[in-house]
Amino acid sequence: MAYLIKLPSVAADASGGVLHQWLKQEGDRVAVGDALAEIETEKAIVEINAEQAGVLGRIVVQAGPATVPINTVIGVLVADGEDAAAIDRALAEQGGAAVAASAAGAPASAAPAVAAPAGGRSPDRAPAPAVAQQPAGAPSSAAAPAKAASAPIPGGRLFASPLARRLAAQWHVDLLGVTGTGPHGRIVRRDVEAARDRAPAAALPASSTAARPAARRVPHTGMRRAIARRLTESKQHVPHFYLTVDCRMDALLALRAQANHGGAIKLSVNDFIVRAAALALREVPEVNASWHDDDIEFHAGADISVAVATDGGLVTPIVRDADVKPLSAISGEIAELAGRAKVNRLKPEEFTGGSLTVSNLGMYGISQFAAIINPPQAAILAVGAAERRPVVDEDGQLAAATVMTVTLSADHRVVDGAVGARWLAAFRALIENPVRILL
């Protein structure tokens, strides 16, 4: 019998998602576990996997920028020999056609018919040609086969992923001149990047009196809305306090140079910082906690979130159990997670939770800053640049040293000032005696 594909819940606090793209097309055979489509959530793109085997008989909700509520019917799988009438009956029984059509912004009758099933049997209803969805008030256009989607249809819909549209707006790329290389000619990120790289540099104005270009407004993405909401709530409801210390870096930099000499894996300063933060949580477990309305949760593992800047905003993938992993494993894991974070390919469990966040802006030349806590975590460490500065040695002599300033932002509901100071002292001791980080 026909099996309804519904939009699953992909995150604990998500009420829906954007259907990023279909990975299967009508008429394609599907095995259990096959990736059917991709959902774009606030901070990641997640695959929907098939729970039943069969043939993708109908795509009910097309990919597009509209948010689709959880449990909306987005497609239908059929068994060999089932026809369009079986799909219609299944949708009618579940009330899915109307719900899905409402989410997609189109009437239920606009859904394309099932493709001819395997085995040679003809469906009761001939397959309807794929028609590009037109904006309101646009002139009608002739129907075009789905495989012709790589070229925009005059007055019709442009087949491009939501990420590609956002990047095109950001980089001033005209999608009408871009040829898609995604499934069925869909324009994807790499196509927009290629078009941007081919575009000539903008000409300078002929004179200082040239007209100033008009201001540009870019709609909020789901990720940007999530960042705005969470950090506003954090600053409004979490009582932040800040502790700052300077760490001498000369010994750590010398040890890093030795470790990287002739080695296949090149460790970064941030790799040492992440492991030092985890080891400091082991020494001062009171900081490894989260605030809840009825209790304080003390975490068993030292899971360090690492702030990664992406085109859409800040993402914090998590290095789990960083206190028991060697630096080489931490280095490889951070690189792999950051790479997938930049293309929205993290799974929700890879950036949800965590003990403490490390936010490093030292590579941008920032000497010192204070970061906003990422709830439900109780602390975040802001890391500045390692700089040569004058210092006074223990014997009172003036000397030059490489110094890094770090600032701990802590939730005073969970972490008292003395506790935060003990954690920061433990962290500094590890950084200034880096052999302990290797143990």
Catalytic residues, which ones? 412
Q: What is the pLDDT of residues 162-199, one digit of tens each?
A: 788 888 888 888 888 888 888 778 888 888 888 888 87
pLDDT score of 397: 92
pLDDT tens-place string over residues 291-342: 999 999 999 999 999 999 988 889 999 999 999 999 999 999 999 999 999 9
C-alpha angle 295/374/256, rounded to 5°?
Answer: 115
The span from the CA of 367 to the CA of 253, in Å, is 17
How far apart are alpha carbons 424 and 280 in whole angstroms? Answer: 8
pTM for this structure?
0.66
Out of 27-41, 154-168, 196-210, 369-383, least confident range: 196-210
Sheet strands (E) in 330-439: 356-360, 379-392, 398-411
Residue ranges of domains in the chain, CATH in brackets = 3-126 (2.40.50.100), 162-198 (4.10.320), 236-438 (3.30.559.10)
Mean pLDDT of 11-32: 82
Asked whether the beta carbons of 176 and 151 are under 8 A apart, the reply is: no
- In this prediction, residues 18-33 reach a mean pLDDT of 89
What confidence category does residue 111 fall into, taking pLDDT thresholds of 50, 70 and 90?
very low
Residue type (1 letter), 271: D
Counting runs of H as helices and runs of E as strands, what totals does the chain give?
10, 18
* 82 backbone dihedrals φ, ψ, rounded to 5°: -80, 145
DSSP 374-404: -TTBSEEEEEEEEEEEEEE-TTS-EEEEEEE
pLDDT at 157 over 70: no
Tokens of residue 63, six digits = 């990919």
Q: Which of 142-156, 355-369, 406-420 has the lowest mean pLDDT?
A: 142-156
